[in-house]
Chain A
Amino acid sequence: MLSVTDLRAGYGAINILWDVSLRFPLGQLTAIIGPNGAGKTTLLRAIMGLIPVTLGDVTLDSYSLRGRNTWDMAGMGLALIPEGRMVFADMSVEDNLAMGAFPKPHRPALARNLERVFGLFPRLHERRRQLAGSLSGGEAQMLALGRGLMSEPRLLLIDEPSLGLAPVIVHEIFAILRGLKEQGVTIVLVEQNTHMALAVADSVYLMRSGRVLLNERAAAVDSQRLHDLYFAREG
């Protein structure tokens, strides 16, 4: 289980997360929803060590991740598909995917994982020699997701995969997330698309202004209450 306990983090002098605690049970898909600026991306970045943690802890199976280097996370089975895709624009699709298998232990499985990712996203196979910077938004999201899967993570954190994409592609991506969950991958999904998120999630967190306002099983969520909390005024 991935646990976040009383986590405080932010950017320099600006604190964003105010002692948030979340638990992500193994094999489950946990959704984090919340309005713009709630601190969802900040939370994922803090978990991955991309920004420093001021207080609290992040643990994976009771092993602390706090203060660890981001580049050691892949080796521990964690992958973050970042907000805005962050593909390597002037490298080919295939090289982007290969970089997902950069840590030495993952390199021997490169060919097998390439085949697996191309199986999930045939469109990436068609475009494997193309520069990543020339892909459409949907293709770039597929590439970002595929690149994250190249290290066979057991824990996948995904930040707003549906952002700016046509419904068809969003459905495609959610179907793949469902499939990954069936294979036993633990998934943390940050989404603005509440409907889609609730449909695939086991449980859901609602964040606003750097705090957790609600944690429920997805099936038990009262959508009116969720709506009220989501759009309520500050204070």
Chain B
Amino acid sequence: MAELILQALYSGLLNGGVYALMAIGLALSFGTMRVINLAHGELVLLAAYMAYVVESRLDLSPLAAIPLAMAVACAGSALVYLLVARIRKNRELNSLMLSFAIGIIITNAVLLIWSGDIHSTGSVSLQEAVQLGSLYSMRSELYGFLASLVLVTLLWQWLAKSWYGRAVRAVSSQRDAAKLMGINPAKTELISFLVAGLLAGCAGVALYSSSVIQPSLGHALTVKAFIITVLAGVGSVPGVLAASVLLGITEALTVTLWSSAVQELAGMLLFLLVLFVLPNGLFGAARRRA
């Protein structure tokens, strides 16, 4: 039993890395524009289908699809931005409707083009079991986790050190003051959506390489990214990482101890529980005091 639980913790940890890639993108665009992109998970899924296409049509490793997946997710993310930016009245509410609709369009387009079948990678080397002590994972899960760590670290450094990364934070924090500093908020918002797209592209490839995809998955991914963003308390990269791992582990433990049928429910319960006890999210309040 203890071994099973350890194994669940390990699998959850690895999954959490990929969740972080999705959630950070959502948090970024929410920070700059106060807009929740409800099509974000669908963009991740679209990127995952790019990996499927590259593998099944071109007979290449799914990893070769990374540039294409990033390009497609970036283009989608930029499109969401351009449409949302045109909303003049009631942007907070109307953008929810708009991005929700875009998500539905993507889901149905995926269904039309690739049918409702489930797909997963056929790559033997990616699916090979890798042993770490007494713990097992697929090679792709380990790769995905390590790649996530690298990307999350890069993003963290970008936000902390680069001119536009800091501009993203400045616009999130004080929009008018940022303008006075010479920062064009529209350009900064677009950049945050593009970066979100890049991360979504990588997340999609990681997803396809280590699990199964199907058209209705996009919506579930959006919900996961949203849960993580709220759990983390907007604005902290380590917070998002921790919340992602927490969600990953909760799901894995639920599957191990109970049933895979209630995996999504467990995430929701975690969400409600944390918000009930800590309304500012896991890291929201602590960060303010720091």
Contacts and interface: CB of A to CB of B under 8 A. Distances in A.
A133 B288 contact: yes
B40 interface: no
A10 interface: no
A138 interface: no
11 contacts: A48-B180, A71-B179, A71-B184, A79-B180, A90-B169, A90-B288, A91-B173, A99-B170, A102-B181, A147-B181, A148-B180
A34 interface: no
B166 A99 contact: yes
B169 A88 contact: yes
Contacts of A148: 180
Interface string B78-115: 00000000000000000000000000000000000000
A7 B159 CA distance: 40
Contact of B182 (A91, A102, A131): A102
Tier of interface size on chain B: 20 to 34
B290 interface: yes
Interface string B139-172: 0000000000000000000000001001101100
Interface string A129-172: 00101100000000000011001000000000000000000000
Interface string A103-146: 10011000000000000000000000001011000000000000
B183 interface: yes
A130 to B, nearest CB: 10
Contact of B167 (A50, A72, A99, A147): A99
Contact of B174 (A86, A103, A134): A86
Given A89-B173, A91-B169, A99 B287 contact: no
Contacts of B178: 88, 99
Contacts of B163: 102, 107
A91 B176 contact: no
A134 B289 CA distance: 8
B16 interface: no
Contacts of B181: 71, 74, 99-100, 102, 147, 151
A89 B177 CA distance: 11
Given A98-B166, A103-B182, A82 B177 contact: yes
B43 to A, nearest CB: 27
Interface of B: 163, 166-167, 169-170, 173-174, 176-185, 235, 287-288, 290
A215 to B, nearest CB: 27
Nearest to B180: A80
Interface string A32-57: 00000000000000001010000000
A147 B180 CA distance: 10
Nearest to B287: A90
A148 B182 CA distance: 11
B135 to A, nearest CB: 37
B235 A90 contact: yes
List of 10 A-B pairs having minimum Cβ-Cβ separation, nearest first: A74-B182, A86-B177, A103-B182, A70-B179, A88-B173, A102-B182, A86-B174, A99-B181, A71-B184, A102-B181
A151 B180 CA distance: 11
Given A71-B181, A90-B169, A91-B170, 7 more contacts: A71-B182, A73-B182, A86-B180, A88-B174, A95-B166, A106-B182, A134-B290
Nearest to B173: A88
B175 to A, nearest CB: 9
Contacts of B173: 88-91
B283 to A, nearest CB: 12
B75 to A, nearest CB: 26
Q: Of residues A48, A70, A100, A106, which shows the largest number of chain B Cβ atoms within 10 Å of its Cβ?
A: A70
Contact of A102 (B167, B169, B174): B167
